[in-house]
Amino acid sequence: MRTIEPEGWGAVWRRDMAAYDPASVIAAVDEESVSVRCEKITAYFDEHVGDLAGKRTAEIGCGGAIYSLIFARRGARATLLDYSPEALALAERNLGALHLEGELLQADAFNLSPELHGRFDVVMSFGTVEHYRYPRRLAICQAHVDLVKPGGVVIISVPNVFFLPHEILKVLLVARGKWFLGYEGSFSRRELFRVARQLGLQRYRIVGSSWRNDLRRYVEIVRDTRTFGKWFPKSRPGTQPAAARRAREDHWLDNFFGHDIGLLGVKRSREI
């Protein structure tokens, strides 16, 4: 399966724009900002860069830019970077929905201006680098390090190959010709650790999203299908509040079996 080129991603983002709902964007930002993954990322920031207010952040392959929105809410000076003009149009609309400001930058992560190197306190991506094979896979990871300041933080969040519900669903959608995101090579923790060493990152760790909440979400997806809906009858509203709360709590298995795993690391500096 081929990696989608800019024109193909434009079609993906146009679909999102056609069904745009500002309330859904606000809800998504609110939900993710209190998620297990975001809490772990925030704790890492507190340890290594301090308060985000006034800090410069850049999101590579921003798409809807959920994390740029979260950090801009906390006072960060956000730069939203993508090679797709449609993605930047969506990101701009999302900024407007939350009454936030950010710099929109249309650029190719494989050909970034040297003027951008070392400008940012935090450089991140969420669901971007898995769409590339080696050697470009490592090259786009290196772009994060190029943009961040010495002592700054890099975040590379990707799908986890060991979150099997997603991997199984992806295989089924590809087989039926309904997968529209092109090549997606999910990562293992082992691969992310290897990438961290190749990039020369310091103080790195891997954190995961809530595997229980992710599993719950995928069960809901299956329930909405005609094929499997009869096997998984929908719960009545309000019948499982305790289970829903537990699903959003931190669990030691999250870092191994969550849908998303993220590499957090610090760019080498003379002070380290």
Please give the pLDDT value at position 272: 43
What local confidence, expressed as pLDDT, does residue 221 receive? Answer: 82
Looking at residue 2, its pLDDT comes to 72
- Predicted confidence at residue 223, as pLDDT, reads 76
Task: Quote the pLDDT of residue 3.
Answer: 76
Task: Give me the average pLDDT of each 10-residue run along the chain (272 residues).
Answer: 77 94 97 98 97 98 98 99 97 98 98 98 98 98 99 99 97 93 97 99 98 94 64 55 66 98 93 46
Q: Which helix (H) or strand (E) holds 248?
A: none
| CATH class of the domain defined by 6-209+254-266 | alpha beta
Whether omega for the bond prior to residue 135 falls within 30 degrees of 0, making it cis, is: yes
Instruction: Give Cβ neighbours of residue 214 (< 8 Å, ≥ 6 apart).
Output: 163, 165, 258, 259, 260
For the chain, domain boundaries = 6-209+254-266, 211-249
pLDDT score recorded for residue 227: 53
pLDDT of residue 226: 58
**Ordered alpha helix ranges (H), the chain:** 6-18, 22-33, 36-48, 66-73, 85-97, 136-147, 164-175, 189-199, 211-223, 241-247, 254-257
